Chain A
Amino acid sequence: MLLTRNLTYQYPRSQPILFPDLQVQAGHALLVCGDSGCGKTTLLHLLAGLRRPTSGQIVIGEDRISDLSPSKMDQYRGQHIGIVYQQSYFIESLSVIDNLMISPYAASKSKARKVANRLDIETSLLRYPNQLSVGQQQRASIARSVMTGPKLMLADEPTSALDKKNCMQVIDLLLEEAVANNAALIIVTHDDRLRSEVSNCIDLNTIAN
């Protein structure tokens, strides 16, 4: 499960952002909504350990990750946090299966095939990322995020580039994978189509301002 306390972040020469306390149980999902510029992505990067909070605590399971040193944080992120981005980032010179295996902490290739099977991209494993459709790319990103069996799954606007059909498919897959991996799932979005899919929801606009 994920827990945050009094989390703030201050960019140079600007007002500090105060984030609401979050609590997500393993296997459950939380939707963080808000317009662009309200600090959604900042919050996500704090949770991922890509930025250090100015103050406050982040706890995943038993681990206070806000106290970890940068190199320990890199390792922790690799082992326990899976991230899906708005755009699908891949190493374009590697095949899809190699991209799934990219993490130094990734499980075996047989797991990659199993996950790919669940996400219906097993026929694309030997192709290159830019040969895939946008929907397939996003599913491959989800597959990659669960390759290490994460405790926390983070999704940054995972559906904004997708049409309605793909959008529903991707959100369902994310929820399914969170349950399958017993991971806490946090989806940061301004996509209103998702509100009907995830019951647990925090709106950053109303709280921050």
Chain B
Amino acid sequence: MLRKIAWKNITYKPLNTALCISLLLFGVGIISLLLLIQHELEQKLKRDLQNIDLVIGAKGSPLQLVLSAIYHLDAPTGNIKLAEARKIMDNPMVEEAIPLAYGDSYRGFRIVGTSRAYLEKYEAQLTSGRTFSKPMEVTLGADIAVRTGLKVGSTFLGTHGEVQEGHVHEDHPYTIVGILQKTNTVLDQLLLTGVESVWQVHSHHGEQQAPIDTIPHAETEKGHEEGHDHAEGHDHDHDHAHEHDHEHVESVMARDSMEITAVLLKFKTKMSVINMPRIINEQTNMQAVLPGLEINRLFYMLGVGATTLKLIAGGIMLMAGFSVFFVLYSRLRDRKFELALMRSVGYRPGQLFALLVLEGVLLAAIGYLLGWLLSRLGLYIINHQAESDFKIQFGTAWAPGEELLLLLTFTVGVISALLPAWKAMRMDVSAILSEN
């Protein structure tokens, strides 16, 4: 009966309760949305980071390098000479080195020249076809397959740069040989191919700009040796599987004069993670960046904004608490006869206390429920826009911290009901019933 009375009291005058519920709902909604986005963003950034110890790329903003090389969210800082990068990739302390060459796109999705190790790093599985093995073969990320409708066997032309209106490389069509399963990582949004493909597409550009095609020949011997050495010493570069294949050797020789955009490195020991960046930054004209450090810096910067919003939402929650208090307290005057009647039919003071606290809790529960729904609606709308703008999808599942928010909301409901409840408990029933 107590629960029924509490519920009826809240719903009987909906306008009175609408105010405090709407305040609660916005407070909860904003905080919940922030928690969700923060959680999802952290999860996504951490997932893409995997165990990449170091990123090497052209000098420039370290954060830009991390955002472009790992998350493919930003433009590259520039290109680096493969020969120079190779010196570091061949360092014995390096456990794994993944070269990345990018700059072209297809319908806004980045075409990334890399090695198969890149796919293995994110544990990508194929839904159909196979992994790229020859130049101009492409394996598609899951999201792109859905968005563009490209299938195994389809061909397409890359566009120079990231914008869709850029120059189209009409002489070099790519062929799709496989499609990846969804990995929930950055791979879902990439077109993956061998590094050679990117060189091939851009080779004629190089000739036009600097016609010094004698240099690759001059370095043939050195390149050959390096190729052999490399294949025996390390198995990280899968493109070297057939080191006796002559075509391949030639592409290896050509490489050292070529450029790549970045290298993702994993080291054998923690010591090298600390030492290598300093060596690279001081002795080469490349920069080495610890991605974990940059991402923490990014979180810190985002955190300042999130904290401000949380403070605002906290203020709204406080107002909501006051409004619950005012609604219960002001209705206490109107309800004193009802409460006195309840005492006279056998309810104990403690039960009246419980009734008012229950009403506060019910208001909080409704506010939380609606706020939760609002945050999901907000996320749905953000997802709708982020999909096209940032290529990020947020999940709408439970975020850690939301159970604390639930606790906070209930605490607000209980605390703001305490004083009215105490007044109800302590009232002089006989005096009220003697009034006329």
Contacts and interface: CB of A to CB of B under 8 A. Distances in A.
A86 interface: yes
Contacts of A75: 346, 348
Given A91-B5, A93-B8, A45 B430 contact: yes
Contact of B433 (A74, A85, A91, A94): A85
Interface in B1-57: 1, 4-5, 8-9, 11-13
A135 interface: no
B1 A51 contact: no
A89 B430 contact: no
Given A85-B433, A93-B9, A50 B1 contact: no
Nearest to A78: B346
A58 to B, nearest CB: 15
B214 interface: no
Contacts of A71: 348
Interface in A78-119: 78-79, 83, 85-87, 89-94, 98, 101-106
Interface in B380-436: 429-430, 433-434, 436
B340 A102 contact: no
Contacts of B342: 91, 102
B341 A104 contact: no
B81 interface: no
Interface in A145-185: 148, 156
B345 interface: yes
Contacts of A25: none
Contact of B430 (A50, A87, A102): A50
Interface residues of A, number: 32
Contact of A103 (B346, B349, B429, B436): B346
A195 to B, nearest CB: 22
B300 interface: no
A23 interface: no
A123 B26 CA distance: 44
Nearest to B434: A41
A79 B348 CA distance: 12
B270 to A, nearest CB: 67
B356 to A, nearest CB: 14
B5 A83 contact: no
A102 B1 contact: yes
A48 interface: yes
Interface string B329-340: 000000001101
Given A51-B430, A102-B342, A92 B12 contact: yes
A144 interface: yes
A174 B5 CA distance: 28
Contact of A89 (B4, B340, B434): B340
B23 to A, nearest CB: 22
Contacts of B434: 41-42, 45
Given A75-B346, A75-B348, A89 B1 contact: no
B343 interface: yes
Most buried by A among B4, B12, B341, B348: B341
Interface string B254-297: 00000000000000000000000000000000000000000000
A94 B5 contact: yes
Interface in A32-85: 41-42, 45, 48, 50-51, 71, 74-75, 77-79, 83, 85
Nearest to A46: B430
B346 A74 contact: yes
Interface in B342-356: 342-349, 351
B337 to A, nearest CB: 5
Nearest to B350: A71
Most buried by B among A48, A79, A83, A89: A89
A92 B346 contact: no
A50 B347 contact: no
Contact of B1 (A45, A77, A85, A101): A101
Nearest to A103: B345
Given A93-B8, A94-B8, A45 B433 contact: yes
A87 B346 CA distance: 19
B342 to A, nearest CB: 7
B362 to A, nearest CB: 13
Contacts of A74: 343, 346-349
Most buried by A among B1, B338, B345, B430: B345
Contact of B347 (A45, A87, A104, A144): A104
B338 A92 contact: yes
Given A45-B434, A86-B436, A102-B1, A91 B341 contact: yes
4 interchain residue pairs of minimum CB distance? A78-B346, A93-B12, A103-B345, A93-B8
8 contacts: A50-B344, A50-B430, A74-B346, A85-B433, A86-B436, A89-B433, A104-B345, A156-B433
Given A41-B434, A74-B348, 17 more contacts: A42-B434, A45-B434, A50-B429, A51-B430, A71-B348, A74-B346, A77-B344, A87-B436, A91-B341, A93-B11, A93-B12, A94-B4, A102-B341, A102-B342, A102-B345, A103-B346, A104-B345
